[in-house]
């Protein structure tokens, strides 16, 4: 997988009766490691990244995210948001996010997606599309997931009057260059790429 052409983004939205005093946030996965394998029309991929590397509210990403993200955020607020996020995720105990996908026929079918986060394995199926060429694979995905599905309590203050909404919106593009590689199992991937 090419980390320079791969981008995983997570949008988190403000909620509560005092939501106007908060901010929406855009979070970017950094230092992703991954592999994509195909067997005829069957495909599967694994990707992981460390929670500590996640980038929060980068100005460029906020500008690209749309009107709900245009309010300026200073560095102190950004650092506080990142600290609260890592505490909620218990990043010291569960340092990595691991995402795996597998399919039936391609392209344009629903894919089975598994996310390992906060000690919980969450499974669902979503539409995923990808372009397959002799030199590379490029996959695109977009779906929503609730923090409570991973036993994570969304951050809130003032008895929930200002909070982060439970639902997060994930979108991404994964770009992988074709190479010859020996068969790999999920256990091999975790041991060699996500330790």
CATH number of the domain bearing residue 66: 2.40.128.110
Rounded Cα distance between 98 and 45, Å, is 11
Give the residue with greater pLDDT, 190 vs 40: 190
Indicate whether 157 belongs to any domain: yes
Domain assignment of residue 49, given as a range:
7-193
Q: How confident is the model at residue 161 (pLDDT cuts 50, 70, 90)?
A: very high
The model's pLDDT over 12-66, given as tens digits with 9 standing for 90+, comes to 999 999 998 889 999 999 888 888 777 666 778 888 999 999 999 999 999 999 8
Q: Tell me, what's the pLDDT at 111?
A: 83
Give the residue with greater pLDDT, 164 vs 110: 164
CB atoms near residue 49 (< 10 Å): 22
CA-to-CA dists, residue 19 to 15, 46, 173, angstroms: 5, 36, 30
Residue 107 reports pLDDT greater than 60: no
Q: Tell me, what's the pLDDT at 104?
A: 58
Q: Tell me, what's the pLDDT at 41?
A: 67
pTM: 0.86
Indicate whether 68 belongs to any domain: yes
Query: What is the mean pLDDT of the segment spanning 98-112?
Result: 73
Q: Tell me, what's the pLDDT at 137?
A: 81
Indicate whether 173 belongs to any domain: yes
DSSP annotation of 107 reads S
Residue 184 reports pLDDT greater than 90: no
Which of 10, 8, 9, 36 minimizes the C-alpha distance to 193? 36
Rounded Cα distance between 1 and 138, Å, is 10
Q: Tell me, what's the pLDDT at 146?
A: 96
Indicate whether 1 belongs to any domain: no
Indicate whether 110 belongs to any domain: yes
Total number of domains in the chain: 1
The model's pLDDT over 114-149, given as tens digits with 9 standing for 90+, comes to 999 999 999 988 887 777 777 888 888 889 999 999
Rounded Cα distance between 20 and 1, Å, is 40
Q: Where are the beta strands (DSSP E) in the chain?
A: 7-15, 25-28, 33-39, 42-50, 55-56, 96-102, 110-117, 120-132, 136-146, 156-157, 162-177
């Amino acid at each position: 997988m090419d980390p320079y052409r791969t981008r995983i983004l997570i949008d988190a939205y403000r909620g509560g009766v005092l939501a106007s005093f908060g901010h929406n946030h855009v979070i970017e996965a950094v230092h992703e490691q991954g592999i994509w394998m195909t067997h005829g029309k069957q495909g599967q991929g694994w990707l992981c990244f460390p929670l500590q590397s996640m980038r929060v509210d980068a100005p460029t990403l906020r500008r690209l995210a749309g009107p709900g993200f245009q309010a300026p955020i200073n560095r102190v607020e950004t650092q506080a948001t990142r600290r609260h996020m890592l505490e909620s995720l218990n990043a010291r105990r569960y340092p990595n996010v691991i995402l795996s996908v597998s399919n039936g026929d391609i392209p344009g079918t629903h894919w089975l997606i598994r996310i390992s986060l906060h000690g919980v394995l969450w499974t669902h199926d979503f539409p995923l599309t990808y372009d397959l060429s002799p030199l590379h694979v490029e996959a695109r995905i977009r779906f929503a997931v609730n923090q409570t599905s991973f036993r994570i309590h969304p951050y809130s203050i003032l008895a929930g009057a200002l909070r982060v909404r439970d639902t997060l919106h994930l979108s991404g593009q994964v770009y992988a260059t074709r190479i010859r590689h020996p068969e790999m199992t999920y256990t091999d991937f975790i041991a060699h790429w996500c330790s």
